[in-house]
Amino acid sequence: MNAADEARPVLGEEPAVGRRAWASLWVLAAALGTIVLDGTIVSVVLPSIIADLGLDLTDAQWVNGLYSVVFAALLLAAGRLGDRWGRRRLLLVGVTVFVLGSVVAALAGGVTALLLGRAVQGVGGAMVLPSTLSTVNATFRGRDRAAAFGVWGAVMSGAAALGPLLGGFLTHVASWQLIFWVNVPIGITVTIAAARLVPDTRGTSDEGQVDVPGTLLSAAGLGLIVFGLIESSSLGWWTPQEPLTVFGLAWPVDAPVSAVPVALAAGTLLLTLFVTVESRRQRSGRATVLDLRLFRLLTFRLGNTTAGLVAVGEFALLFVLPLFLVTSLAMNTLTTGLVLAGMAAGAFASGAAARHLAAHFGPTRVVILGLVLEVVGASATALVAAANGPGWAVAVTLIPYGLGLGLASAQLTSTTLRDVPTDQSGSGSATQSTVRQLGAALGTAVGGAALNAGVTNSTSFSGPLQFAGASASAIWVAVAVLLTATLTSIALDRASRRQPASNPQGKPCSLQPS
């Protein structure tokens, strides 16, 4: 029996998990940690990149957000590809592409090359993330599965929180390019270990079929919406403020309306068309990138809504805070990273303890507790930012936020996927990951738009005091999003308690409407 057979569940049984499975979990965690880290590590070094390459605030948003945009746009297709092609194979290709993108970004001498590198990294990350989560979902059962998801969630939240600290350190000892070069040896090590230890699990998808219309529609729709949000500060929400030229086509400044609302409307229309196309393809038995049947599961719907809102709040905060600490409090990158370390410490500590709390109170109650802590910590951070510091006070307020982030992330993943059949775990995990990455891109865009609304010059970032006030306003926007996430988590808790888990051991099952 090969590794793929061992990982494939057997109806009515709960197979024992051996040492190799646990070893593979740590390899998957290392791969996951690398791509999640890269989503946040850039935040703290943005001031250095801005100074070195001469960027404005809109450019900075793209450097931070393009990775998440490409990531989100390709995750759905990547999840389906992993189900058919083999998740280990997808993981190996994804890590290789991610490393190549890191090299391009490290060698960049201008904004265009840097954005190209970030886009290629996003392609690789879109392959890595669903392959790790769906492999965990298909390999582990029962108590082992809960422990595995606890590790996965702790790495997910901890790596995101650790990114700014590591970025500040690497930039301080060398340069911002080192945050990309460090991915090369890590990627090589992960590739070798994954080839030896990770089981090659598969799902039961339509072999040989590729949903080209669904992939193109989802990518274009998501891209246009994020484009509209990020470019709103420079192009104008309604009245054109600057001309726009794309592929030789010009949108003049004297146009009756800005390109922003047009992009947002077109993106919404394409996503609506995407859902329609996916529904028709599914009814006719053809392959789809999004399995709409999964949304019949109430826990899946509410869990994804909560996860998306958490990501918006988290990445809005991560975009604004480093710029505030450097611009208003005149900190260097190392000190900025140390201030943000409070978030990482809290996330790692609570992520490890979340499983024990979940066993006593229930996973959804732990999610609620985590989000309440996030709201408290982010609110305190906004108050400190409004008073323009000091830096140590920011670090203190980030500790409860990090604790909440670890608690919520560790249990939200398993709760969202608890009723998803194993043979559709690739699609389920890719959908959840897409929601999170879309939330990350939207968070950067929303945080940047709120920040830009409070400053007068997107190149000089205005004066320290004015920037502090603008930062506080942007953080309050993040607080409002997190409050909404708390409400949806309460609905998720009620739904989970009304209906017992239909797939507690990750076994194949049919999807019935809720």
Q: How far apart are CA 482 and CA 480, in angstroms?
A: 5
| Residues ≥6 apart with Cβ < 8 Å to 347 | 154, 157, 158, 160, 161, 162, 402, 403, 405, 406, 409
Q: How far apart are CA 498 and CA 94, in angstroms?
A: 39
Q: How far apart are CA 238 and CA 222, in angstroms?
A: 20
pLDDT at 391: 86
pLDDT over 70 at 127, yes or no: yes
Residue 159 in tokens = 């790596």
Looking up tokens 């389906």 gives 80
Residue spans of the domains in the chain: they are 19-199+287-498, 211-286
Tell me how long the chain is: 514
pLDDT at 17: 60
- Highest mean pLDDT among 157-171, 290-304, 332-346, 381-395 belongs to 381-395
What b/e string do you get for 24-54 counting C-beta neighbours within 10 Å, with b at 16 or more? Answer: bbebbbbbbbbbbbbbbbbbbbbbbbbeebe
**What pTM does this model have?**
0.76
Share of the chain above pLDDT 70, in %: 86
User: For residue 310, what are the CA distances in angstroms to 42, 210, 288, 374?
Assistant: 19, 32, 27, 9
Q: Which helix (H) or strand (E) holds 89?
A: helix 87-106
Residue-wise pLDDT for 286-306, tens only, equals: 877 777 888 888 888 899 999
The CA dihedral of 35, 233, 449, 239, to the nearest 10 degrees, is: -130
pLDDT over 50 at 375, yes or no: yes
pLDDT at 295: 85
For residue 331, which of 136, 36, 44 has the smallest C-alpha distance?
Answer: 44
Q: How far apart are CA 110 and CA 132, in angstroms?
A: 33
| Residues ≥6 apart with Cβ < 8 Å to 73 | 126, 218, 219, 222, 223
Does residue 438 contact residue 290 with C-beta atoms inside 8 Å?
A: no
Sign of the CA dihedral running 226, 164, 149, 497: negative
Beta bridge partners of 246: 249
Q: How far apart are CA 451 and CA 308, in angstroms?
A: 21
Amino acid letter, residue 103 = V
What integer best gives the mean pLDDT of the chain? 81
Residue with the bigger pLDDT between 185 and 446: it is: 185
Q: How far apart are CA 361 and CA 363, in angstroms?
A: 7
pLDDT at 13: 46
Local confidence band at 117 (pLDDT 50, 70, 90 cut-offs): very high
Local confidence band at 2 (pLDDT 50, 70, 90 cut-offs): very low
Q: Which helix (H) or strand (E) holds 473?
A: helix 464-498
Residue-wise pLDDT for 400-443, tens only, equals: 998 898 888 767 877 887 777 766 766 677 677 778 878 888 88
Query: DSSP string spanning 13-48?
Result: --PPP-HHHHHHHHHHHHHHHHHHHHHHHHHHHHHH
pLDDT over 80 at 206, yes or no: no
Local confidence band at 505 (pLDDT 50, 70, 90 cut-offs): very low
User: For residue 6, what are the CA distances in angstroms to 3, 9, 209, 425?
Assistant: 5, 8, 27, 17
Phi, psi of 103 (to 5 degrees): -65, -45
Grouping H, G, I as helix, E, B as strand and the rest as coil, residue 245 is strand
Mean pLDDT, range 136-140, rounded to an integer: 76
Looking up tokens 């790790």 gives 132
pLDDT at 63: 85
Local confidence band at 7 (pLDDT 50, 70, 90 cut-offs): very low
Residue 354 in tokens = 């979340």
Residue-wise pLDDT for 247-278, tens only, equals: 667 788 888 888 889 989 999 999 999 999 98
Q: Which helix (H) or strand (E) holds 260?
A: helix 259-283
CATH 1.20.1090.10, domain 19-199+287-498, yes or no: no
pLDDT at 362: 81
Mean pLDDT, range 139-161, rounded to an integer: 73
Beta bridge partners of 250: 245
Report the greatest alpha carbon distance in the chain.
Answer: 69
Local confidence band at 369 (pLDDT 50, 70, 90 cut-offs): very high
Residue-wise pLDDT for 450-485, tens only, equals: 887 777 544 455 567 778 888 898 999 999 999 999
Beta bridge partners of 244: 251
